[in-house]
A and B are shown apart, each in its own frame.
Chain A
C-alpha cells in the first residue's frame, strides 16, 4: 500500500520500471526464440552488453542516493562496486577447480604461478555461493560503515570528503595491484567457467544474468525510492541543504548519513557482483579514481537527485561510449568532453531537467492564457 503510494507519485520511475519490464520480457524472447538470421534477433553479445549497462545503472542509482540526496560528492564509489565484483570473482575463481591451466583442485592459477602452498585465510569459504553472496553485501557495507563512521563523526564535509573518498579508492587500487595481496595482482581474476553449475558461456546463463541485473536494478531503484520518500530520506535532503541547521534542530546527522551511505555502498557492491560474471574479468583497474569520476558524470548528465535520472545518464553515456569508441575512436574523447562541458553549463539539472523545464514552461503558458 505504502509502496503503491510512493510509486504513484513517481511517474518517471513508473515509466522506467515499465520499460525495464518490457525489455526484460522482450530480450530473452528475441535472443532465444527468434532465429539468428532474423532481423529481430538480439545477439548474446548485445544481451551481455545490456546486462552490463544495467549494472552500471544500479551503480549510478547508488551514487545518486549519496550525491543527490545526501550532498556527498563521492569520488570513490567505484571502490564498493569493485569490492563486490572481487567477492563474486573469488567465488567464480573457486568454481574453476581443476579446469585451470595448472589443474590445481583448490588453488586458483595465479596462486600456483606464485608458488603458494595453500589458500590464504580470506579465500576460505568462497567456494560456497551463499558465503560469497553474504560477502558481496558485507564487505562493501563494512568498509562504508567504518569509513563513514570515521568521516561523518569527525564532520569531514565538502571537498575534503570528496578527496578522501578518492584517496580510499586510490589506496585500494594500489593495494590490489600488489601480487602479495592475493587477488591476482595486475591481471585480476578471470577465466571464469561457470556460476552455480551453469556454464557462463551459454546463452541461457547470459539471459539469466541479464534478468538478474534487471531485477536488481528494479529492486534497488524501488528500495532507494522508498528510502528517499521516507523520513530518513527527507532528513537527508535537509542535511544536504543545511547541515548545521539540521543538527541544531536535533537530527543525528552522523547516523542518517552513515546509514544512507552504507545502503548505497551495498547497492554498488551488488552491482559489481552482477557485472563481473557478465564481463568475465575483474582487475584493480576497476578501483581507478577515474571510474568513480565517470560514475559521478553519468549521474550529473542524467540529472542528480532524481534516481531515474541516474539510470538514464548511465545508460546513455555508456551506450554512446560503446558506439563512439567503435565507430569514431578519434572523436570519442572530444565528444565525451564536450558533452560534460555542455551539460554542466546548459543543463545543470541534467537531461531529465529538460523534461521538467518543459513542464514548467507549459504551466507558465497556461497561467498566461488564463490571465
Chain B
C-alpha cells in the first residue's frame, strides 16, 4: 500500500501537523455549532454574515475558516465571487475601514472594486500600487476547504453546466464526506450528464470505502466512465479478492480501448478539418485550373485578398465582431471575384489554348498583387479576431472535444462545395461552363457567348478562393505571403483528385488531410508532409490522371 505508507511516514515525521489538524477540526466544529446556534436562536442572519465578512480581514486562519463556512452556508450573491477571488489571491481589504475589494490588474495599474457595490461610500480605486490595501491571505488548508465548499454550493446552482463543473471539481479530489451530499443531490438532479458524473464520483468513493459487493458495482460503473479520476481510482485500487482484481483489470482495459477509439476519432476529426482547409483552398483552383485549364499561380493571392477583405470588414465594424465574419463572406466573394474577372479580362483571355504560358502571366499577376497589398497594408502580418461563437469546443464526452472553429470550417467547406456543385449542375451558367470547357468551338457554334462565360467562370473560381481566404484568416495571420503557403498544396490536391473533377478535389483534399494527420503522431509534422508528397508522386505514376480521371475523347491530346 504505497499511498498509506507515505501518509504514515508523514505523520511520524511531523507530529505538529497532527496537532494542527486536530485544532483545525475542533475550531471548525465549534464555529459550525455557533453558526447553527445563531440560526437556531433566530438572531438575524445579516449580522452574523456581516461579522463573517469582517472576520476575513483578520490574520487568524482558524477564524477565517469559520467565517468562510458561515458565508458558504448563508450563500449571499457575493459569496461565490469572493471565494473565487480568495482562491486566486485577488481579494483585498482596505487598511482603513476593513472593507473588502476585488483586485484587477489593468495595464500595470491596480484597480480595486468594492465587493459590496450597494454601499455608496465605497468607490472603485485605480492606483499604481497596492498601497492602502492588504490581501486576504489563505493557506493551503483554507484553499482546499474553499474549493470543496464552492463545489458543494455549486451543486445546488440552477445552471446544469455549473453543477457539472462542481461534480468534476469534487472528482479531482474525491472525499468520503462528499458522498452523502452527492447522494442527496442525485435524487433531485435532472441533467443526465450531471447524473453520470455523480455516479462516477459515488463509485470512486465506494471503490475505496465500500464492501465487496459495493466495490463490484463500483467497478462496473467506472468501466463505463471516461473520467481520468475513474481511471486513477481503478489503477490505485487494491482488490481484496482475485476475482475483483481481474474485474478491475478488465475495466481498465475497457476504458483504455475506449480512449484509444476516441483518440482515433479525434485524429480523424483533425484530419478532416485540415482536409477541408485544403479542399476549400483547392475548390476555386479546381474551377480555374481544372475546368478552364488556366494554371493560375495567382490563386493564392486571391485567397489573400479574401483574407484581407475579412480584416477590412472587421476594421469597419469593430463593435460587432460576431457579425463581421458573416458580412465578410459575401464581401470576400465579391472582391476576389471582381479581381479575378479583371485578371481574366486583362491577361488570361489572350492566352487560351496556351496553358503553360498562363502560369507565367499569372505568376506575374501574383507578384503585382502581393506588392500592392504590401504597399496598402504594410508587409506586417495582421490578425483577424475570432468571433465568440466560433471559440470554445463541443464537449462530446470527457475525452473527446471538437473545437467549434474546426467544425465550422468543415461545414463551411461542405456548404461552399455543395453550392458550387449546384451552380455547375443546375444553372444555365454551369451548363455553359461545362460546354465551353469540353469543346470551345462547338459551344460557340451553338450560340454560347464563350468570352462572357470565361470571365464569369474565372470570377466564380476567384470568388471561391476569396471564401477560402475568409476561412484561412481565422486560422492564421493575414499577411502578403498567405497565398504562397497554400498554392502548392492546392495544386497537389487538384492534381491528386483529377483535373476537371470537382468531387475528386473534395475527396482528395479530405483524404490528404486525414493521411497527413494519421502520419503525424509517429512521423512528426514535417516528415508527414514529406511522406504525403512522396505518396502523391508515386500515386501519379500509378494513375497518371489523378483519382478520378476525366473520360471521353476531350481528355485525350
Asked if A250 lies at the interface with its beta carbon under 8 angstroms from chain B, I say: no
Which A residues lie within 8 Å of B196 (CB)?
A: none
Which B residues lie within 8 Å of A345 (CB)?
A: 347, 350-351, 361
Partner of A340, one of B355, B360, B536, B541: B360
Asked if A192 lies at the interface with its beta carbon under 8 angstroms from chain B, I say: no
Judge whether A344 and B357 touch: CB under 8 Å: yes
In angstroms, Cα B371 to Cα A79, docked, is 27
Look across to chain B and name the residue whose beta carbon is closest to the beta carbon of A244. B557
Asked if B545 lies at the interface with its beta carbon under 8 angstroms from chain A, I say: yes
Instruction: Supply 7 A–B pairs (Cβ within 8 Å), ascending by A.
Output: A160-B495, A162-B356, A175-B530, A178-B527, A243-B557, A297-B360, A344-B361
Segment at the interface with B among A13-21, A271-279, A330-338: A330-338
Which A residues lie within 8 Å of B492 (CB)?
A: 163, 167
Given contacts A167-B492, A293-B297, contact A155 B544 (CB under 8 A): yes
Judge whether A164 and B530 touch: CB under 8 Å: no
Asked if A353 lies at the interface with its beta carbon under 8 angstroms from chain B, I say: no
Which B residues lie within 8 Å of A348 (CB)?
A: 354, 357
Given contacts A344-B351, A348-B354, contact A164 B536 (CB under 8 A): yes
Which A residues lie within 8 Å of B491 (CB)?
A: 163, 166
Residue-wise, chain B 206-236 has the 8 Å CB interface mask toward A (1 for contact) of: 0000000000000000000000000000000
Task: Give 13 A-B pairs besides A157-B544, A162-B295, A338-B364 with Cβ atoms closer than 8 angstroms.
Answer: A150-B541, A154-B541, A156-B544, A170-B488, A171-B533, A300-B360, A333-B370, A334-B367, A337-B363, A337-B365, A344-B351, A344-B361, A344-B364
Look across to chain A and name the residue whose beta carbon is closest to the beta carbon of B364. A340
Asked if A159 lies at the interface with its beta carbon under 8 angstroms from chain B, I say: yes
How many A-B pairs have beta carbons closer than 8 Å: the answer is: 125
CB proximity of B455 to chain A, nearest CB, Å: 17
Most chain A Cβ neighbours within 10 Å, of B354, B375, B488, B492: B488
In the A-B complex, list the 5 residue pairs whose CB atoms are closest, starting with the nearest: A340-B364, A337-B367, A337-B368, A333-B371, A171-B533
> For chain B, which range describes its interface: under 10, 10 to 19, 20 to 34, or 35 or more residues?
35 or more
Judge whether B367 and A290 touch: CB under 8 Å: no
Which B residues lie within 8 Å of A119 (CB)?
A: none
Asked if B402 lies at the interface with its beta carbon under 8 angstroms from chain A, I say: no
Which A residues lie within 8 Å of B536 (CB)?
A: 164, 167
**Residues of chain B whose beta carbon lies under 8 Å from any beta carbon of chain A:** 289, 295, 297, 347, 350-351, 354-361, 363-368, 370-371, 374-375, 484, 488, 491-492, 495, 499, 526-527, 529-530, 533-534, 536-538, 540-542, 544-546, 557
Which B residues lie within 8 Å of A308 (CB)?
A: none
Look across to chain A and name the residue whose beta carbon is closest to the beta carbon of B367. A337
Asked if A289 lies at the interface with its beta carbon under 8 angstroms from chain B, I say: yes
Asked if A296 lies at the interface with its beta carbon under 8 angstroms from chain B, I say: yes
In angstroms, Cα B557 to Cα A289, docked, is 27
Which B residues lie within 8 Å of A156 (CB)?
A: 540-541, 544
Partner of A154, one of B297, B355, B370, B544: B544
Which A residues lie within 8 Å of B499 (CB)?
A: 159-160
In angstroms, Cα B359 to Cα A297, docked, is 9
Asked if A114 lies at the interface with its beta carbon under 8 angstroms from chain B, I say: no
Asked if A151 lies at the interface with its beta carbon under 8 angstroms from chain B, I say: yes
Judge whether B537 and A164 touch: CB under 8 Å: yes
Look across to chain B and name the residue whose beta carbon is closest to the beta carbon of A171. B533
Given contacts A333-B368, A340-B360, A344-B357, contact A170 B533 (CB under 8 A): yes
Judge whether A341 and B347 touch: CB under 8 Å: yes
Dominant secondary structure of chain B at its interface with chain A? helix
Asked if A168 lies at the interface with its beta carbon under 8 angstroms from chain B, I say: yes
Which A residues lie within 8 Å of B534 (CB)?
A: 171
In angstroms, Cα B356 to Cα A156, docked, is 16
Asked if A73 lies at the interface with its beta carbon under 8 angstroms from chain B, I say: yes
CB proximity of A134 to chain B, nearest CB, Å: 26
Which B residues lie within 8 Å of A337 (CB)?
A: 363-368, 371
Residue-wise, chain A 164-201 has the 8 Å CB interface mask toward B (1 for contact) of: 10111011001101100000000000000000000000
Judge whether A296 and B364 touch: CB under 8 Å: no
Look across to chain A and name the residue whose beta carbon is closest to the beta carbon of B355. A159
Which B residues lie within 8 Å of A157 (CB)?
A: 544, 557
Asked if A208 lies at the interface with its beta carbon under 8 angstroms from chain B, I say: no
In angstroms, Cα B353 to Cα A348, docked, is 13
Asked if A23 lies at the interface with its beta carbon under 8 angstroms from chain B, I say: no
Given contacts A154-B541, A167-B533, contact A341 B361 (CB under 8 A): yes
In angstroms, Cα B492 to Cα A178, docked, is 22
CB proximity of A229 to chain B, nearest CB, Å: 25
In angstroms, Cα B458 to Cα A297, docked, is 23
Which A residues lie within 8 Å of B368 (CB)?
A: 333-334, 337-338, 341
Which A residues lie within 8 Å of B295 (CB)?
A: 159, 162
Which B residues lie within 8 Å of A177 (CB)?
A: 526
CB proximity of A115 to chain B, nearest CB, Å: 20
Given contacts A333-B368, A334-B368, contact A344 B360 (CB under 8 A): yes
Judge whether B370 and A340 touch: CB under 8 Å: no
Which A residues lie within 8 Å of B488 (CB)?
A: 166-167, 170, 289
